[in-house]
Amino acid sequence: MNKLDAIFSPKSVAILGASTTPGKVGHDMFANILKGGYTGTLYPVNPKSRSISCVRCFPSILDVPEAVDLAIVVLPPEMALKAVDESIRSGIKGLVIVSAGFKEVGGEGVEMEQTISSMCREAGVRLVGPNCLGVINPMPAVKMNASFSARMPQTGNISFVSQSGALCTAVLDYAADRDFGFSKFISVGNKADVDELDLLRYLHNDPDTNVILMYMEELRRGAEFIQEVRTITSGCRPTPILAIKSGRTSAGAKAAASHTGSLAGAEAVYDSIFEQCGIIRVDTIDELFDYANAFAFKRESQLGKLTRKVPGGNRVAIVTNAGGPGILATDMTMSKGLRLADFQDETIARLKEHLPSAASFTNPVDVIGDAHADRYEHALEAVIDDPGVDGALVILTPQSMTNVRETADAIIKIARRSPKPVLSSFMGVVDVSSGVKYLQKQGYPVYKFPENAAKAFGALFKYSQWTNRQLLPQFEFSHDRKRAAGIIANCLTKGQTYLGELDGLEVLKCYGFNVLATELATSPEQAADIAEKIGFPVVMKIVSPQIIHKSDAGGVKVGLQNGQEVKEAFASIVNSAGNYNPDAEITGVLVQKMAPSGHEVIVGANRYPVFGPLLMFGLGGVFVELFKDVTFRLAPIGRNEARSMIHNIKGIKMLQGFRGAPEADMECLEKTMVCLSDMLLDLPEIDELDINPLLVHTQGEGATVADCRIMLKAVDPAGR
């Protein structure tokens, strides 16, 4: 038995702090459970009251005559501490603390919350809250509204988890307006014990939950969250998770010395988490419910089991009785990674057999405004049977001759027998209400506008891509971690926070990166000798701890072809660097073999508290500043995530042989990203890193590091 069952399906509940005064949380929460038809036993606890709502009241939970599964604490922090102690001594199995005044206010509140958390942990008691709305289980076997929201939601197969109690009340009201049901509804509050990951594990195994909705403000677990949630959203029994994360626009990137640091921010971290563990991110409450309707829809298989309807591809058929809405749906379909399906000749012949000559027989199919239910039925049946169609959108606008209810029934008739998703848009409110209510009652997704239906279909397709993704064999590498760690330790011992390029290239070489022959020159003559030795053409770069962005200081010269050019470049570089920063310590000038031509990309990393290294990939050189066409993932990553990073940039076609150009070495890029991930995990002292550009050569010829920038930060032995 899961310990959280005591919170969500308790046989008995005690309200500690129950009140006789309507309007107080202690009274309203007790009344909500009582009026909601809770199937267990309910005990009000208040030493100053004889009874509450005609129910006998007990002075302490220790006085309750039987063992209680769940204690709900509605008391100020000081009194809550005593109540928790008595609850634990009484043998309680679960706790919900709705009271505020704990960690969120700081000071003593933090200490009291930590004390309560420790008490519960030692006793093996799970705790939701404090500072939360409560928990709701509307399923018939429980019917518990243990919250201070007066509204008991309808039953359904969707669970909702929120960090915001205020949002919970709004969502419950919104859900009631849309006839939306839940199986569990949880406000997590301060997360002193139970957090999102605990709830996701529990709800994944809950037979009443088919889809999980989340509103989150922050996460406290990084790699562990990704690893465990990936198993929830994948495998033979995946559970879809849809999430809203607040603060998308307010979270900016931090000031940083690297491109990665300047482009990455908290939102890049969360986007990476969602991508890596299969959570579908939505932007609005409307979208959350729209998508949930599509994901909750299931059909009965031949084995008698319910299976979720997801498209096998992105080819959509549209059936409509009006041209304008069909065009709107087409536009939104194309913008969500979908495309209009091309019908087979047999499908077109079937459409012509049943539709009038004025109809449109290509996609989108226009059955004309005077269409009755039978015309919709024949058209939908024809397109959904087409092997080149992965799902359908059905649009209805109310006409005087339209029987909305019969049309809804026709849609259900065809959709019920097909494994492909069928989403509907019945446009309007009053005139289409009978059809909308019938579809909703039968569990079929229906939307007010075609663009909403198209966006929901796009989310289904994204989920299908995730669950059916190819799992590639992983790379195996042998890195020289000891040598790399020694180089970094030596630099930190000298007080350096910036790894010089020579040392940086050596560290990269330890992790399999292909680096160019590079030596340090301290005079023009020495620079010319080095260039002769490594071979022309060469590149020259200033070396100074105070000058990180070399190009900005005029500290880079490329394509030098002979010794005289090298000597002149040396003098020019040193002079420009001195003008740029007169206080800069000039160590010398690097002379480096010029790399063969290739596509310029950037790879980098930036380290975040809690979450660890955030890796970046994108188009490099000046493109990274101009287009900011980059993707992010949290380490560790394997080959699958590396490939996803690379293929998710907008400029991927440039690497795939655009306009007849040779294809870049994509496998080498995948290996590069995995090696970068390994390096950041092995070497916690690396705080920021850019390799820009990394020159990617044609397929089979690898990639070469042309420039690198590595920032260091001392860490304790535990790697914090």
| 263-291 pLDDT tens trace | 666 788 899 999 999 999 999 999 999 99
**pLDDT at residue 498 in the model:** 86
Cα–Cα distance between 75 and 97 in angstroms, integer? 8
CA distances from 187 to 122, 529, 634 (A): 24, 70, 28
Cα–Cα distance between 267 and 274 in angstroms, integer? 11
Alpha helices in 234-344 (DSSP H): 259-263, 266-277, 285-296, 323-335
Cα–Cα distance between 172 and 149 in angstroms, integer? 8
Indicate the pLDDT class of residue 252, thresholds 50, 70 and 90: very low
**pLDDT at residue 646 in the model:** 97
Neighbours of 343 (CB within 10 A): 21
Indicate the pLDDT class of residue 250, thresholds 50, 70 and 90: very low
Residue 519 has pLDDT above 70, yes or no: yes
Cα–Cα distance between 111 and 135 in angstroms, integer? 25
Distance, C-alpha 562 to centroid of its chain: 53
Indicate the pLDDT class of residue 251, thresholds 50, 70 and 90: very low
Residue 179 has pLDDT above 90, yes or no: no
**pLDDT at residue 260 in the model:** 57
What residues contact residue 392 under an 8 Å CB cut-off, 6+ apart? 316, 317, 318, 319, 380, 383, 384, 420, 421, 422, 423
3-state secondary structure of 647: helix
Indicate the pLDDT class of residue 624, thresholds 50, 70 and 90: confident
Residue 39 has pLDDT above 80, yes or no: yes
Residue 717 has pLDDT above 80, yes or no: no
**pLDDT at residue 303 in the model:** 40
Indicate the pLDDT class of residue 302, thresholds 50, 70 and 90: very low
Residue 411 has pLDDT above 50, yes or no: yes
**Partners of residue 556 on adjacent β-strands:** 541
**pLDDT at residue 408 in the model:** 96
Indicate the pLDDT class of residue 307, thresholds 50, 70 and 90: low
Alpha helices in 142-192 (DSSP H): 165-177
**pLDDT at residue 304 in the model:** 42
Indicate the pLDDT class of residue 720, thresholds 50, 70 and 90: very low
Q: What percent of the chain has pLDDT over 90?
A: 77
What residues contact residue 341 under an 8 Å CB cut-off, 6+ apart? 315, 316, 317, 363, 383, 386, 388, 389, 390
Mean pLDDT of all residues belonging to the chain: 91
Using the 8-state DSSP alphabet, how is residue 414 labeled? Answer: H
For 293-309, b where at least 16 C-beta lie within 10 A, e where not — what string? bbbbbebeeeeeeeebb
The alpha carbons of the chain give a radius of gyration, in whole angstroms, of 31
**pLDDT at residue 442 in the model:** 87
Give the least confident one: 88-92, 400-404, 406-410, 635-639. Answer: 400-404
**pLDDT at residue 262 in the model:** 56
Residues 488, 686 contacting (CB under 8 angstroms): yes
Average pLDDT over residues 296-323: 76
Give the least confident one: 190-204, 234-248, 466-480. Answer: 234-248
Residue 693, preceding bond cis, omega within 30 degrees?
Answer: yes
Residues 516, 595 contacting (CB under 8 angstroms): yes
Give the least confident one: 197-201, 228-232, 336-340. Answer: 336-340
Residue 305 has pLDDT above 70, yes or no: no
Indicate the pLDDT class of residue 621, thresholds 50, 70 and 90: confident
Average pLDDT over residues 7-12: 98
Average pLDDT over residues 361-381: 95
Give 540-589 pLDDT, tens digit per residue.
999 998 888 888 899 999 999 999 999 999 999 999 999 999 999 999 99
Residues 403, 412 contacting (CB under 8 angstroms): no
**pLDDT at residue 222 in the model:** 82
Residues 162, 187 contacting (CB under 8 angstroms): yes
> Token pair of 504, please?
């940086």
Tell me, yes or no, if the pTM score tops 0.85: yes
Cα–Cα distance between 444 and 412 in angstroms, integer? 7
CA distances from 36 to 28, 57, 148, 151, 158 (A): 12, 19, 12, 9, 19
Using the 8-state DSSP alphabet, how is residue 134 labeled? Answer: E
Give the least confident one: 46-50, 53-57, 157-161, 657-661. Answer: 657-661
